[in-house]
Structure 1
Amino acid sequence: MALLAAFTLPAGATWWSPGDGTPFPAQYDDADPDGVTRLLLDGGPMETKGHPFFEPKGKYGRACVTCHQPSDGMSLSAETARIRWQETEGNDPLFAAIDGANCPDLAQGERASHSLLLDHGLFRIARPWPPVDHDGQKIEPDFTLEVVRDPTGCNASKVWGLSSPNPQVSVFRRPRPVANFKYILAMGFAVDPKVGKPLPIDPETGQMVSGNLMADRRVLSLEAQMRDAAHSHLGFDALTPDDIKRIRDFEDRIFVARQRDRVGGDLDSMGARGGPETLAKSEPGRLGSQGMAVWSEFAAWEKIPADADITPEQRAWRESVARGARVFREKMFLITDSAGINSPVGFGNPVRNSCVFCHNMSQMGMDVAPGQVDLGTTTMPFADPQPHLPLFRLTCKGPAHPHYGRVIHTHDPGYALTTGRCEDVGKITLQTLRGLTGRAPYFASGSAPDLRAVIDYYDRRYNIGYTEQEKRDLVNLMGAL
């Protein structure tokens, strides 16, 4: 089969099945009602037949591509999961009981057994309890963990729960996109300022790592993530060094970003530098690149010439994106009671800053300072109502949590399930901000159904006081990334 430099799948043909041999082009445009998200394979195109990212491996019939769909910006949207359920009557490997169901011991043919994936885009993540470190040694946690509410029944399961022969905690999270790793793996400096300690060392390589790969930093390197995913999600423990090398080569070369908006037109035009080529050609930057550098590719749209050959609708949308970028950089507010920001480091509580305080990496909007933060998205009293998720009560054995006190209620303890430390409850690795439109819902728990809900959450959480215009501008900015 001849490889193509660029293509768009036929209407309706959006699903990449494991082992179907579809070649991966140098440029892949995925169209939706609001525009186009573009994937750029640097050095592509590439055959997928026989490639370990695309071939089914393990006992569930899945491949990496099952949960990291090109049509969803190398992640997976809840809408795509619903369409796949309807098309296959629930028989696709995507719905494997191990994590595509609310619990493996539920009746697998019933939609209700897969409601968290279908309605919220969530996969079950099983964490050992008590936690184990990166060498597999048990950690004695400094908090107790009790289940207050268990709508899936999995934490109470005698086979899969806390009282099973291999005790585990089931939490439910969104799949993180497999793209733009040049930025995800970048390190602004050698210390994690969120805890005031040196960055972790990968035991395999002896090198410092960013720790930004997984929501709870349960693995340190991309290679370790591959093995973890193969075991947990594919049911496969035999990735060869060559498999890992080929997957790493593909993942290092894939970039994703929004390319065209239905109203605003091409995002790489009239001085703007949107699209994945910007990511492929740019560098993550270091601390000090934050602030004005973030989303500076849209600065040219702040003052569009009066005689520009664009429609009034295009002008209005592009000016909105530029305003959103300025709000993102410059709208100041008080950041309060957020572990990893206000504690344990010395930024103070509150600290006055803008969105770029955490989302400061040029071109990407991640944090050049690695580490996990608690924005309250899963933890009371800040989390939005999520009655479909389990609720845990954690009680600190030692010092109380600096912001929640001694007793904490949370849907997902986050980083604390890796460290066993009460001070880490609720901490989550920041999400990447490119290709957002193709992978709703948002936040690790899927609690924000759309981009407006993301902005509304932050507005409530930190009492920012965004105007309606500022909210629309921020949504348009997020949609342009």
Structure 2
Amino acid sequence: MMQLRAFILATSSFAALLGAREIALAERGDAWWTPGEGREFPAQIDYENDYGTLRVLLTGGPLATKDHPFFRPVGPRGRACITCHQPADAMSLSVETVRKRWDKTQGKDPLFAAYDGSNCPTLKQDERASHSLLLDHGLIRIQRPWPPRETKPDFTIETVRDPTSCNSGGKYGPGAGNISVYRRPRPVANLKYLLAVGFAYDPKQGMPLPLDPESGEPMSGNLMADGRAGTLHAQMHDAAATHLELLQHFDRADMARIVDFESRIFTAQQIDKRGGALNADGAEGGAEKLATSEPGQLGSIGRAVWSEFAAWETPKPGLTPEENAFRASVARGAKVFRDKTFLISDSAGINSPIGFGNPVRNSCVFCHNMSQMGNDVAPGQVDLGTTTLPFADPAPHLPLFRITCTAAPHPHYGRVIYTNDPGYALTTGRCADVGKITLQSMRGLSARAPYFSNGSAKDLRAIIDYYERRYHIGYTEQEKQDLVNLMSVL
């Protein structure tokens, strides 16, 4: 954590840092960064999207990308980290971008490499159908060892449905000691928030936090969907061996350069087509706010979340009625997010094993509580039901697994569980962790649809509709639209 705090906002002022010569405005059609192309990464890049403009900031000044390990093509397919972490998509990857890349390259871009850019490496790679999960849902194949190498699981896995053929084939499925699940690429940006530790222990498990084996410091658990890597170094080892198909890891010098770059990147929506600049008229949104602020700490839960838009409650002279109405909607959405309570039930990591009760009444900020960011100050994974029956939306395009607990039954699902992705349980081997997923970052949402780890929410409204179904919240139509408007400006 010390190295991440050290990089933040080197002492130069943003006025000098973001001089006109370092600012680039990129149109969507020319936004793709190809591995090895060698262009300079500016201190600021603005990308247009359906809701307005996303800003990408690189604190400390521009970066020469020639031969930089984040941008350098490696492995048999010529991929790089930048392949799946595109600046225009808030350092993630949107379905829209994926489809444009397929059309432009006729499916030949390294993004569509057989190993994880297709539904399964055994399929015919020149057919669109073999890449449908990436093209239609933004999903990358994640191959996990099964059973886990370092622990004996207390559950078994059977494949009930396998539309991709990977979990029933002999080369990539359980017969070969693997399980394939499909997940969205997580953004590589705003990392000082994702790596911040607000508790001295994991309150979702009631256990001590795992420690970084190199530094000895506690880890936040917010980097990867299933918690399999708790540090940037561990994440790089994982990516090198899988997504980049390298036979050896990055060396320490390369890892240091990647950590430096990833630690200086901040992304957020900066301008809204309906409400204007998100850091104007008293509002404090935008990427600069993320770069210049510190992560919320224990004790900041609740009232501080999205307070940067409180000034928009009051109409501003000189704006159109439509602009003022949109701004008021965003401010109302922030209040609904903080103040509208509902019963949260049968959600492991919230209702169990800790003592909040089942159900517990709270609002969205119970889990999305870090100021400026909306991820969780408290480390650990939770199960919101997005991948597990009976709560998950129908997903016939995804595999379906039957989990049978061999020791104690799951506290909410019982002994037999059906899921598209066992999540954190693939890391821990514990049946009680089935369905737990690391909460998503809430910044740059407008640039990187679809949402949830399995891409099941195709747009921002679908996120709200899922939570309405899951917890029977009782949002009014106005409240739903206010929440969508809030998320669109983050």
Match of residue 184, structure 2, among 158, 161, 174: 174
Tell me if 1:160 matches 2:168. no
Which residue does 2:310 correspond to in 1? 299
TM-score under structure 2 normalisation? 0.95
Structure 1: where are the runs of 5+ without partners?
none
Shift of 1:141: 0.5
Q: Distance in 1 between matches of 2:275 and 2:401?
A: 45
SS of equivalent to 2:29: coil
Shift of 1:351: 0.3
Structure 2 contact 27–48 (Cα < 8 Å) conserved: no
Which residue does 1:404 correspond to in 2? 413
Which residue does 1:25 correspond to in 2? 42
TM-score under structure 1 normalisation? 0.97
Match of residue 230, structure 1, among 240, 251, 256: 240
Match of residue 195, structure 1, among 200, 205, 218: 205
Once the two structures are superposed, residues 191-236 of structure 1 have per-residue CA deviations (whole angstroms, 9 ceiling, x without a partner) of 1000001110122222211111000000111111011111110112
Shift of 1:36: 0.1
SS of equivalent to 2:242: helix
Residue identity matched to 1:145? I
Alignment of 1:229-378 (within 5 A): 229-236=239-246, 237-305=248-316, 308-378=317-387
Residue identity matched to 1:188? G
Tell me if 1:67 matches 2:84. yes
Tell me if 1:109 matches 2:91. no
Which residue does 1:14 correspond to in 2? 31
SS of equivalent to 1:428: coil
Which residue does 2:14 correspond to in 1? none
Residue identity matched to 1:439? R
Which residue does 2:8 correspond to in 1? none
Q: Distance in 2 between matches of 1:12 and 1:211?
A: 35
- Quick check: 48-57 or 174-183, which moved more? 48-57
For the aligned residue pairs, the C-alpha RMSD in angstroms reads 1.2
Tell me if 1:438 matches 2:447. yes
Shift of 1:413: 0.1
Once the two structures are superposed, residues 11-39 of structure 1 have per-residue CA deviations (whole angstroms, 9 ceiling, x without a partner) of 52111100011211111100123200000
Residue identity matched to 1:21? G
Alignment of 1:386-405 (within 5 A): 386-405=395-414
Alignment of 1:29-48 (within 5 A): 29-48=46-65
SS of equivalent to 1:8: strand
Tell me if 1:148 matches 2:160. yes
Q: Distance in 1 between matches of 2:403 and 2:356?
A: 26
- Paired residues in the alignment total 471
SS of equivalent to 1:260: strand
In structure 2, do the counterparts of structure 1 residues 10 and 36 end up closer, same or farther at CA, with 3 Å as the change threshold? closer
Shift of 1:313: 1.1
Q: Distance in 2 between matches of 1:205 and 1:32?
A: 40
Q: Distance in 2 between matches of 1:128 and 1:354?
A: 36
Q: Distance in 2 between matches of 1:33 and 1:68?
A: 19
Residue identity matched to 1:260? I
Which residue does 2:141 correspond to in 1? 124
Shift of 1:189: 1.4
Q: Distance in 1 between matches of 2:156 and 2:28?
A: 51
Structure 1 contact 4–45 (Cα < 8 Å) conserved: no
Shift of 1:78: 1.0
Which residue does 2:17 correspond to in 1? none
Shift of 1:10: 4.5
Q: Distance in 1 between matches of 2:35 and 2:216?
A: 34
Q: Distance in 1 between matches of 2:30 and 2:190?
A: 25
Over the matched positions of the two proteins, sequence identity in percent amounts to: 67
